[in-house]
Each structure stands twice: as structure tokens, then as C-alpha cells.
């Protein structure tokens, strides 16, 4: 239901659908999934030194290296994942995810 509310009125092209699928399933180019697929040595977030798994929740909510990006995109440096999903259109969530996953060192 939330997905339909967030997509209504926004054109979802193939790229956006792919990124939305990554966000919803966690099966994207994030280290936790890549380690599971045996294409990287560890599952840690490379942006911070907390040694937490790089997951959708890590990127969207907890990684301290991304607080400024979260503040700029979601007007809150530490939103919960449900706040993001409930309050923001899917296209904005996709834009944030796409931006931060491409900006890795």
C-alpha cells in the first residue's frame, strides 16, 4: 500500500524500478549482499569506521558519514527507515540511495 501511495504521479522508468527493488529487497550493490554473493571480502560499510554491515538501513538511517546527505534529502540527519518510507515519495528515496551508493570512495 505505501508503495502505491509513493509512486502515484511519478513515472517509474526501468532504472528507478531497479533501484527501488534494491532498496526494498536489500539485493543491491551493498557490501552485505555482495559478501553473500561472494564478490567482496567483507560486508562492512566503507564510509564509516563502525564496522557495521553496509545495508539499506545503514545507508538510509545509521551511517554517520551520511548524516549531512540525509539532512539535505530528508530534512533530518537521523530519520527512522519508516519515517523516510512514510513521509517521502519513492522518487526522492531513490534519488538519495542512488546518490550515496555512487559516491563511495
Helix (H) or strand (E) holding 80: none
- pTM across the whole model: 0.78
* DSSP state, residue 58: I
Could you tell me how far CA 92 lies from the centroid of its own chain?
11
C-alpha 38/C-alpha 64 separation (Å) is: 26
Note down pLDDT in tens along the chain; length 105 residues.
555 555 555 667 888 888 888 888 888 888 898 888 889 898 999 888 888 999 999 999 999 999 999 999 999 988 998 899 888 888 889 999 988 888 664
* DSSP state, residue 53: B
- How long a stretch of residues is the chain? 105
The 3-state DSSP class for residue 47 equals coil
Amino acid at each position: 500500500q505505501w508503495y502505491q501511495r509513493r509512486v502515484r504521479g511519478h513515472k517509474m522508468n526501468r532504472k528507478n524500478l531497479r533501484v527501488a527493488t534494491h532498496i526494498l529487497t536489500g539485493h543491491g550493490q551493498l557490501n552485505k549482499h555482495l559478501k553473500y554473493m561472494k564478490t567482496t571480502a567483507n560486508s562492512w560499510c566503507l564510509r564509516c569506521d563502525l564496522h557495521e554491515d553496509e545495508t539499506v538501513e545503514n545507508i538510509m538511517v545509521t551511517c554517520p558519514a551520511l548524516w549531512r546527505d540525509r539532512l539535505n534529502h530528508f530534512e533530518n540527519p537521523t530519520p527512522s527507515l519508516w519515517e523516510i518510507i512514510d513521509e517521502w515519495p519513492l522518487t526522492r528515496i531513490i534519488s538519495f540511495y542512488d546518490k550515496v551508493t555512487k559516491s563511495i570512495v
